[in-house]
């Protein structure tokens, strides 16, 4: 009975928003390219960067503001924080235009390995080289918060935890409780859905 309800809620959420299918995989499906384009457009507008020599920087608050505009129905601040950390590669609290373009170029035009490395780095919150269930749960919760769980009344409270469990079933190949970059890349490459969602970018840009 419980399982049936869960199936029902999953299919309901898929009808509402196909991006839920992509929640357990690297975030390409969730993002497609829309936020990348929007973010870039917004940033250029806001900062009026000269095209030849862009030198503006964006801080975490800017990321949060931008995200809150695209996901007004939810609370995107945590997810924006995680993304900011992934873009802020030298950890100085700001993302320069060059950092941003470098990150984008990996996401949009990098090799499969480059893109998977980038996604792994996003999920590996403390950047110690492996993804724990706690880290993945933080990410999943932030995504659910961003999408706005109250918009989807059929969504179960434990849905983020279930996504984490299925992520680990797929990715933690030696079952030691953490996902390493090797496990992550190998598992993603064997998963048709993930590979397909990553190729979405190749067609839109
Ligand atoms: Ca970690
Ligand atoms: Ca493992």
Instruction: Give 44-55 pLDDT, tens digit per residue.
Output: 555 554 444 345
Cα 34 vs. chain centroid, distance in angstroms? Answer: 13
Task: Indicate which ligand has the atom closest to the C-alpha of 134.
Answer: 1
Q: Answer whether 0.85 is exceeded by the pTM.
A: no
Neighbours of ion ligand 1 (CB under 5 A): 124, 126, 128
Out of 35-49, 51-65, 140-154, give the one with best mean pLDDT. 140-154
- pLDDT given at position 14: 38
Report percent pLDDT > 70 for the chain.
Answer: 65
Task: Indicate which ligand has the atom closest to the C-alpha of 171.
Answer: 2
Neighbours of ion ligand 2 (CB under 5 A): 172, 174, 176
Task: Indicate which ligand has the atom closest to the C-alpha of 183.
Answer: 2
Distance 62 CA to ligand 2 centre (A): 35
Q: At what angle do helices 133-147 and 112-123 cross, to 10 degrees?
A: 90
């Amino acid at each position: 009975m419980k399982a049936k309800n869960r199936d029902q809620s999953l299919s309901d959420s898929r009808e509402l928003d196909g991006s839920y299918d992509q929640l357990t995989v690297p975030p390409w499906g969730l993002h497609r390219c829309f936020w990348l384009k929007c973010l870039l457009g917004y940033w250029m507008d806001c900062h009026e960067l000269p095209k030849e020599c862009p030198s503006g920087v964006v801080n975490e608050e800017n990321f949060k503001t931008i995200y809150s505009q695209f996901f007004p129905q939810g609370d995107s601040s945590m997810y924006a924080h995680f993304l900011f950390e992934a873009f802020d590669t030298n950890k100085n609290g700001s993302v320069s235009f060059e950092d941003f373009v470098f990150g984008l170029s990996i996401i949009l035009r990098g090799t499969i390995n480059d893109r998977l490395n980038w996604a792994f780095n996003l999920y590996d919150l403390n950047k110690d080289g492996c993804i724990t269930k706690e880290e993945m749960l933080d990410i999943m919760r932030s995504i659910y918060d961003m999408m706005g769980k109250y918009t989807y009344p059929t969504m179960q409270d434990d849905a983020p935890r279930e996504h984490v469990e299925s992520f680990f079933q797929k990715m933690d190949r030696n079952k030691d409780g953490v996902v390493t970059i090797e496990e992550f890349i190998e598992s993603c490459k064997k998963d048709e859905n993930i590979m397909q969602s990553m190729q979405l970018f190749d067609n839109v840009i």
